Structure 1
Amino acid sequence: MSKALFIIDVQNDFTEGGALGVDGGAAVAAGVSRHLAEHGDEYAIVLASRDWHEGHSDNGGHFATEAEPDYVDTWPAHCVAGTRGADYHPDLDTSRVDYHVLKGQGVPAYSIFEGRTDAGSTVHNLLDEHGIDTIDVVGIATDYCVRASALDAIAHGQHVRVLTGLVAGVAPASSDVALAELAHAGAELVTAS
């Protein structure tokens, strides 16, 4: 069996200065690039997800349009398809990415498993096609999309490793809770820098 890398939402809007920027987001982008340069050959496939929301709708209630966002279920507009905010962070080297997964078109979507490639493939199908049994997870945000993606991978029977030095969250407390939840669910928390 084989190993895959999930790079979750390392996008301009989720890094410093973006619409929903998190502290340490740019460092994650650079760190993931270093990790790929040093360990890229360990992965049978590398998948990178991006939020890819519609600009002309509230994306199923995901964008707060009528009231202030609650930052739990509703958010300010972010990662609108085709905008700079939706682009990968420039410090993320995407040359080793085999599959680009877009999620959140018209609906809220946190997990990479909710997206599809440009060719229409699902993540679950790609994992099956490549005989993947282990997934390393890195990216943004620990307490939202990293958490959701790792939990879905566990639910799909994968051995999951979260590389803790290559994730950044919205807040330290909620990120700590998310990592504890993932460990309890069976994820291995691996120090990586």
Structure 2
Amino acid sequence: MAEEPQPKKWKGGEEQERSADDAMATRHKVWQAMAPFREGTRRPTPADIKRTTDKFFEANSSASVEKCKDALKELMTQTGCNKVADDALLNSAVAAMAPKDGTVNVPDFLLCWNNWMKLGERPRTALIVVDVQHDFIDGSLALRACDAKQDGAEVVPIINALHRTAPFDLVVITKDWHPRDHISFHPNLTQERLHSSETRNVKDIPLFAQVKLADGQTQTMWPAHCVQGSKGAELHKDLEVGNLDHTVVKGTNSMIDSYSAFFDNARKSKTPLSDLLRRYKIDDVYCCGLAYDREQQHECQ
């Protein structure tokens, strides 16, 4: 997920530190408090913000949490909301963003608006569609061959409907994209690739076994799958991919596996995904697709 926006240079140029838990708690309060904005007929404009700050804040002076609440209520009225936020929620949200002395000046208020309140009005969202490829549906690692006997193709119409109806700011399609000599493929395992502490003979190591490789990494031995340019590496034929969607491939290094679409398993190299999320200024990330126990789980973490 994109990094949580952190308000900087609060009152008097000081920086107020926020832990990740504090940031998420504040974000949740703001999201609840800003719900009426999402029901309004239009979004607050810079002119709306200026009129409101002119009304409730005198030049270069501080305003109380109560006045900040009144300013937000005014904005909600200007933007056509049928109701204003619950008073307790507004109070909690503004107090959480205010400096310790409980007052906010205009620059502080605007900083809060741009870094927190505006996200509550309409966060920027991304959809990550994970590895909806033939080898995970009807190929060498088909889900239907697993104990649960799931048909991976069943996710395709659900993803398509989500893609069509939800206004995501960014859609990313991930793909396993392995070279033929990939180290995770069971047929490619040799004694030389095993760690010196590995006592088993390579001929005795079965498919899906875990081994310790020469570089110290623990590796599950998979059947060959999603080989670059192969049918198994192709996306399901019915998966709808838009012209503006981005594709991120992973597992391209022969010598190391990669479950996450952000980086390889040793975190030695990364994909373009984190840079894409930052470029599009994404606040919330939604994941869907196949292989939750491996790929999706690593994306979410």
Q: TM-score range by the shorter chain?
A: 0.5 to 0.7
Say which is worse superposed, 105-114 or 43-52, in terms of deviation: 105-114
* Alignment partners' CA distance in 2, 1:141 and 1:111: 11
CA offset digits 1:95-141 (Å, max 9, x no partner) = 265210010012311111127xxxx9611111111101100000110
CA offset digits 1:61-103 (Å, max 9, x no partner) = 3111244322661100000000110000112111265210010
Is 2:136 the counterpart of 1:11? no
Q: For residue 207 of structure 2, what is the aligned residue in structure 1?
A: 69
* Alignment partners' CA distance in 2, 1:114 and 1:98: 20
Query: What pairs up with 1:13-28 in 2 under 5 angstroms?
Result: 13-15=135-137, 17-22=138-143, 23-28=150-155
Structure 2 unmatched runs, 5+: 1-122, 144-149, 190-204, 211-219, 265-269
Aligned residue type for 1:76: P
Larger Rg: 2
TM-score, with structure 2 as normaliser: 0.44
Q: For residue 98 of structure 1, what is the aligned residue in structure 2?
A: 245
Structure 1 unmatched runs, 5+: 152-193
* Alignment partners' CA distance in 2, 1:81 and 1:99: 18
Q: Which has the higher contact order (CA 8 A, sep 6+)?
A: 1
What RMSD over aligned residues (CA atoms) do the two structures have, in Å?
1.9
What secondary structure, in the 3-state scheme, does the structure 2 residue paired with 1:132 have? coil
* Alignment partners' CA distance in 2, 1:109 and 1:74: 13
Q: Which of 253, 272, 277 matches 1:122?
A: 272
Relative distance call for 1:147 and 1:71 in structure 2 (3 A) is: farther
Q: Which has the higher helix share?
A: 2
Q: Which has the higher strand share?
A: 1
Query: What pairs up with 1:27-38 in 2 under 5 angstroms?
Result: 27-38=154-165
Q: What's the % identity of the aligned pairs?
A: 30
* Matched length: 141
* Alignment partners' CA distance in 1, 2:237 and 2:278: 31
Q: For residue 154 of structure 1, what is the aligned residue in structure 2?
A: none
